[in-house]
Chain A
Amino acid sequence: MRPLTPGLVVEAGSSVDNHTGAWRTERPRFLSVACNGCDLCAVYCPEGVVFKAAPKRYDFDPDFCKGCGICVEECPVDDIVMEAEIR
């Protein structure tokens, strides 16, 4: 049995372990075809989980992406698409 502390007090930094991406129903796919490297997807992502993987190639961290689609909305060259989350 896993002990439950009164009030569910946990060690600091627990948000690293709480994978809030679990409630996502859609996920972005970065096509990396027309990307101009403007960085807007990374800037506007409310979770701060979009990162530059290589010049003009961006990706996201699925553990924390909540699937809001803001990156898709902001991309000026439509280089990101939303897809159904399949688990």
Chain B
Amino acid sequence: MKVMEGAEAIADAVRAAGPKVVSAYPITPQTHIVEALSQAVADGRLDAEFITVESEHSAASVVLGAAATGVRTFTATSSQGLLYMAEVVLNIAGMRLPVVMTVANRALSSPLSIWNDHQDSMTLRDSGWIQLFAQTAQEAHDLHLVAYRIAEDPRVLLPVMVCVDGFVLTHAFEPVEPVSDEAVSRYLPPLSLPFVLDPARPATFGAYADPTVYTEARFAIEAAQRRSAQVLSQALGEFAALTGREYSPDFDRYRLDDADVVMVAMGTAAQTAQVAVDEMRDEGVAAGLVAIRRFRPFPAAELVAALGNASRIVVFDRSVSLGSGGIVAGELRSALYGRLLPQIVGVVAGLGGRDVSVETLTQAFRAERDGWIDLRPDLEEIAP
């Protein structure tokens, strides 16, 4: 057991996974991760090419090309960096390359904010990447190893984005039990891709698809997304056998069995939400919590099965589809529609680093209708 910064815990897992190419452009609050990896390369603890680039677009392009040659790769980014990568992010998924990327979740401009919310990775939720959200430094460490395992599984071959709350997780120090290098090498078999870029056998990746095959190629990604849920479940089972640490493959269930009012949350706020649930219980409310770990593929059927007893669901969103509402709330409504009929309230808060306290979450539990909570009454846009 070590006390590690979240970023260091992530970097240690990636180092142990042994990527052959790491490329990233520094951006707060992700920087410590790749800083630690470049140090590991310099010290000879990681036998990899660390390729410095002038932008995130190039960082993503480097790992795309490197992954296509059949080697394990890693990159990390945040916020504007992820948006700048966006074009390549979709290409990586379309080319079915098993890249693993950390997104240290940070708000998007404008206004400029370096602080945490989930808008960056949620903006790329349709990209074809598997998206996992971690709640603690230990989980972030562990999920990166699991991420390589599922990304590289021949039944999946999709990139994985491990999403961690910027600062709240990346810069906080927590006790972490790192998986030993020896255990990692048993858990992660050498990468073997069905097609690789090789000068001896030239091939084209991301080729033009005319209307007769484009739909089928996109459907193949959708099918791989669906298959990945089962593969993740198996990979987590083997991970538990290896380390003794168990993670459910869809979401955590906290005091859910007899819960009448259920909060749905993601990331570090889910830890705080456990305290809020306890407080609501002390007040006599049968509260419970669903903490989503696997946002893509979205665990729709699992949520239907788990939420059958709830009469009221409060979705706590740290991102918003402006002009529509909280993103997870929208997805949950769509998943439950026609199957369950609880009252669903979508609450948006915790944007741009606004602290998510126990009070924020108990306030969310009491929200009566969709909307943003925790807004300062003394700040409002001047009438246009």
Q: Which residues of A contact B (CB under 8 A)?
A: 4-15, 18, 20, 22
Contacts and interface: CB of A to CB of B under 8 A. Distances in A.
Contacts of A11: 202-204
Contacts of A14: 204, 207-208
A13 B202 CA distance: 8
Interface stretch (B89-97, B110-118, B169-177, B260-268): B89-97
Given A5-B195, A8-B209, A14-B208, 17 more contacts: A6-B96, A6-B195, A7-B95, A7-B96, A7-B97, A7-B157, A7-B206, A8-B94, A8-B213, A9-B95, A9-B195, A9-B204, A10-B203, A10-B204, A11-B202, A11-B204, A12-B202
B217 interface: yes
B202 A4 contact: no
The 3 residue pairs across chains A and B that have the minimum distance between CB atoms: A12-B202, A7-B96, A7-B95
B307 to A, nearest CB: 34
Contacts of B205: 7, 9
Contacts of A8: 94-95, 206-207, 209, 213, 217
Interface in B196-237: 202-210, 213, 216-217, 220, 224
Chain B contact residues: over half helix, strand or loop, or mixed? loop
Most buried by B among A5, A8, A11, A13: A8
A8 B214 CA distance: 9
Contacts of A10: 203-204, 207
Nearest to B91: A7
